[in-house]
Amino acid sequence: MNKKWECYVADENEVENIAQKYKMNKILATILVNRQITSEEKIEKFLNPTRNDFHDPYLMPDMKKAVDRIIKAIENKEKIMIYGDYDADGITSITVLKKFLSQRNIPVESYIPNRLDEGYGLNKNAIQEIYNQGYRLMITVDCGISGIEEIEFANNLGIETIITDHHEPAEELPKAYAIIDAKRKDNEYPFNQLAGVGVVFKLIQAISIRMGLEEKEYLKYLDLVCIGTISDIVPLVDENRVIAKLGLKLVEVTKNIGLRTLLNTIGFKKIDSTAVSFGLAPRINACGRMGYEQDALDLFLCENEQEAQKIAEKLNNYNRERQSKEKEIFEQAFEQIEKEEKDKSCIILGNENWHHGIIGIVSSKVTDIYFKPSILICFEGEEGKGSGRSIPGFDLHDALSKCSQYVEKFGGHAMAIGISIKKENFEKFKEEFENYAKDCKIDTIIPIIKIDKEISLKNISIEDVESLKLLEPFGEANKTPLFLFKNLKINSIRALSEGKHLKLTLKEGQYIIDAIGFNLGNLSEQYRIDDKVDVVGTLEINNFNGNENIQITIKDIRKSY
**CATH T-level fold of 55-314:** inorganic pyrophosphatase (n-terminal core) (3.90.1640)
pLDDT at 154: 98
pLDDT in tens, 53-68: 999 999 999 999 999 9
| pTM (predicted TM-score) | 0.92
* Buried/exposed 358-373: b ≥16 CB within 10 Å, e otherwise: bbbbbbbbbbebbbbb
CA separation for the pair 53, 359 (Å, rounded): 39
Query: So where are the chain's domains?
Result: 4-9+449-559, 55-314, 342-444
Alpha-helical (H) ranges within 212-355 are 216-219, 222-231, 238-252, 257-266, 273-275, 281-290, 293-301, 305-336
List % helix, strand, coil for the chain (3-state, nearest 5): 45, 20, 35
* Buried/exposed 330-348: b ≥16 CB within 10 Å, e otherwise: beebbeebeeebeebbbbb
Q: Do 314 and 292 form a contact (C-beta atoms < 8 A)?
A: yes
pLDDT at 488: 97
pLDDT at 216: 97
**pLDDT above 80: residue 485:** yes
Q: In the sheet where 347-351 sits, what is the strand order?
A: 347-351, 374-380, 383-389, 416-422, 409-412
pLDDT at 188: 96
Confidence band for 412, pLDDT divided at 50, 70 and 90: confident
Average pLDDT over residues 378-404: 93
Please name which of 143, 142, 161, 141 lies closest in space to residue 151, comparing C-alpha atoms.
Answer: 161
CA separation for the pair 373, 237 (Å, rounded): 27
Please name which of 113, 117, 82 lies closest in space to residue 100, comparing C-alpha atoms.
Answer: 82
User: For a pLDDT cut of 90, what percent of the chain falls above it?
Assistant: 89
Average pLDDT over residues 279-305: 96
CA separation for the pair 175, 172 (Å, rounded): 9
User: For a pLDDT cut of 70, what percent of the chain falls above it?
Assistant: 100
pLDDT in tens, 265-276: 998 989 999 999
Please say whether the structural domain 4-9+449-559 has been given the CATH code 2.40.50.460.
yes
pLDDT at 1: 67
CA separation for the pair 137, 159 (Å, rounded): 6
pLDDT at 411: 80
The CATH number, out of the four listed (3.20.20.80, 3.40.228.10, 3.50.30.30, 3.10.310.30), of the domain defined by the range 342-444: 3.10.310.30
pLDDT in tens, 417-434: 889 999 999 999 999 999
Q: Do 452 and 481 form a contact (C-beta atoms < 8 A)?
A: yes
CA separation for the pair 112, 227 (Å, rounded): 19
Confidence band for 490, pLDDT divided at 50, 70 and 90: very high
Please tell me the least confidently modeled range out of 39-48, 113-122, 149-158, 187-196.
Answer: 113-122
**pLDDT above 90: residue 486:** yes
